[in-house]
Each structure stands twice: as C-alpha cells, then as structure tokens.
Amino acid sequence: MSPRVVRTPEERAQALRDATRRYHQTPKGKAALKRAQQRQKERGWPAKKKWEKNNPHNWRQRTYGLTKEQWADLSKDGCGICGVNENLVCDHDHQTGRIRGALCQTCNVGIGFLKDDPSLVARALKWLGGVP
C-alpha cells in the first residue's frame, strides 16, 4: 500500500487548475467551454452593459442621483474639456463623490490615468509645451 500524499491548499488548487486545463484541451472539454462562453455572452456582463446603454437615465439616477433633467443640463454643452458631444459620461471626484460635470469618454479616461491629480496634469501640460 502506498503512503498517502499530503498536499497544501495551494498545491490542491494548482492540481485542480491543471486538471481543468487538461480537460478543456479534450474535444468534450472544448465543447463544454464553448457552451459556457456562449451562455456568459448571452446573459451576464454584456447583458448588463446593454441594459445600461438602453436605460442610461435610470442608471445615472441610481449611481449618481441625477435625474434626466439634471443630466440634460450638465451635458447640453458637450464635453467640459474638448467640447465633443458624443460618448458623454458623468465625471465625479472619487474621494468625495462630488459630480464635476460631463466629459467625453476619452477625456475622462485621460484624467483618470493622471489619477485626478492637478499636479500631474500640470506636469503633463509642461511636458507637451503648453506651459513655459
């Protein structure tokens, strides 16, 4: 009789991942994975995004407390930085939750990558030659 192998929780988890990976390489496993991916595509995250796109005011009401009229007033002039009037999102301060206004997706992501830090924005402006 062979001695029983004692595994740590990490080793058991790794063994399970390895077995799952091997299973998904078999024809039966590939078919099961494809079905699971299709189910996830039909419902789940994409369905949520589709609902939010079709009901933007309801989503903004729940997330930011903005009514349709308030959002229309905020977004009437387009993006607060570049002036574009499409793909507008609600920009807010992540620390305080205070709404700053409407920005296009590109400008919002840009200031997000600069960590909403005015000193980083100033350094970026200097780098681009906008400030002497």
State the total domains in the chain: 2
Whether the predicted pLDDT of 2 surpasses 70: no
Grade residue 89 by pLDDT with cuts at 50, 70 and 90. Answer: very high
How far does the chain reach from its first CA to its final CA, in angstroms?
A: 81
pLDDT per residue as tens digits for the range 6-15 = 788 889 989 9
Do residues 62 and 38 share a domain? Answer: no
* Domain-embedded: residue 132: no
Domain that holds residue 95: 57-127
* Domain-embedded: residue 13: yes
Whether the predicted pLDDT of 1 surpasses 70: no
Do residues 64 and 123 share a domain? Answer: yes
Residue 39 gets the label, from left (phi > 0), alpha (psi -120 to 50) or beta, of: alpha
Place of tokens 């933007």: 56
pLDDT per residue as tens digits for the range 94-106 = 888 899 999 999 9
Grade residue 41 by pLDDT with cuts at 50, 70 and 90. Answer: confident
Q: What is the percent of the chain with per-residue pLDDT over 90, rounded to a whole number?
A: 47
Do residues 79 and 108 share a domain? Answer: yes
Do residues 33 and 62 share a domain? Answer: no
